[in-house]
Amino acid sequence: YVWKKITHGRSNMSSQNLYSSNTLREITNNGLNNELATAGDKLVIVNFFATWCDSCKNIVPHIEQLSGLYLNNVFLNVDIEKCMSTFSKAITVGNLVKSALGPKGMDKILRYNMSGGLDADKLLITNNRTMILSKIGVDNPVVKDLVDISKVQYDEVGDGSKSVVVLASELLRETENLLAQKIHLQTIITEWRKATNEALTVLEGVAKNNSDLMNIARTTLSSKILQEKKDHLSKLCVDAILKIHVNIFI
């Protein structure tokens, strides 16, 4: 179960200690973003459940009791099985971007009108990540998250905006398969976090090796005049760059 704290809201238990069914609502993932947006300063507790999960059935009375005690807060139940359609849409977007990734990436033909919506008024051929994602529409909350992480990646790093979309969509694909095997969402989330920590550990170890930087420098020093001093000059270039900017992303 995921208990998600949106803001530091406060509950009032002095006189509000009766159960009210209006405080506990069952929604799908499509309505989750709207609920979170309208919650304001309230504390929002989101219970992700599955009908096949016995533990979920056991915790329902506790959720109902809490919703009656903390009437100033918002309690939401989200059926993960009803959210599967949002996964498939996001995976489709990932497949679209994947085929445009890399040196053999294919251009996309987009039809849209002058206002930016999809239409037959105008044809656009592009391989640009921003253009592709901006024209597909973001009515799906998961697709919107993919667009957002792509934008953050580009703003903070300047590269890899397509790769993060492909990676995220593949994680969603694996999550969909795990849910189909009756593995609870909270278990999946916990293991993804462990995998993230392990990946960061590996990347930090690889980042200490400057061989990639040396190879990049060598490719710019391929003239006959510099051939004999290529390794020495490459090392000077790498040392100079590392002194100027310690955080180099390869």
For 24-67, how does the pLDDT look when each residue is reduced to its tens digit (9 = 90+)?
Answer: 555 555 566 677 677 777 888 877 777 777 777 787 788 778 87
Q: Are residues 75 and 131 in the same domain?
A: no
SS3 95: helix
Residue range 4-12: average pLDDT?
A: 33
Is residue 15 scored above 90 in pLDDT? no
How does residue 91 score in pLDDT terms, banded at 50, 70 and 90? confident
Q: Are residues 27 and 108 in the same domain?
A: no
CB contact at 8 A, 63 and 1: no
Last-in-domain residue among 61, 80, 99? 80
**Interval 105-145: pLDDT, tens:** 788 877 765 555 555 567 778 777 777 777 766 667 777 88
Q: How far is CA 39 from CA 72, 74, 228, in A?
A: 10, 7, 67
CB contact at 8 A, 75 and 84: no
How many distinct structural domains can be found in the chain? 3
Q: Which of 145, 144, 29, 142 is nearest to 81 (CA)?
A: 29
Q: Quickly tell me which residue has 């219970």 as its tokens.
A: 47
Cα 127 from Cα 142, distance rounded (Å): 22
Q: Are residues 100 and 161 in the same domain?
A: yes
Q: What does pTM read for this prediction?
A: 0.58
Q: Where are the beta strands (DSSP E) in the chain?
A: 24-27, 44-49, 74-79, 108-112, 122-126
Q: How far is CA 148 from CA 38, 114, 249, in A?
A: 20, 23, 21
Q: Are residues 118 and 176 in the same domain?
A: yes
Q: Are residues 137 and 231 in the same domain?
A: no
| 4 assigned to some structural domain | no
CB contact at 8 A, 67 and 20: yes
| 2 assigned to some structural domain | no
Q: Are residues 60 and 92 in the same domain?
A: no
Q: Are residues 59 and 103 in the same domain?
A: no
Give me the CATH number covering residue 155. Answer: 1.10.560.10
Q: Are residues 131 and 40 in the same domain?
A: no
Average per-residue pLDDT for the chain: 73
Q: Are residues 96 and 200 in the same domain?
A: yes
How many other C-beta atoms lie within 10 A of the C-beta of residue 156?
9
Q: What is the DSSP string of 107-161?
A: PEEEEE-TTSSB-SSEEEEE--HHHHHHHS---SHHHHHHHHHHHHHHHHTSS-H
- Which of 34-38, 51-55, 177-181, 202-206 has the weakest average pLDDT? 34-38
- Which of 73-82, 150-159, 170-179 has the weakest average pLDDT? 73-82
Q: Are residues 124 and 100 in the same domain?
A: yes
Q: Are residues 99 and 163 in the same domain?
A: yes
Q: Are residues 89 and 33 in the same domain?
A: no
Range of the domain at 53: 21-80
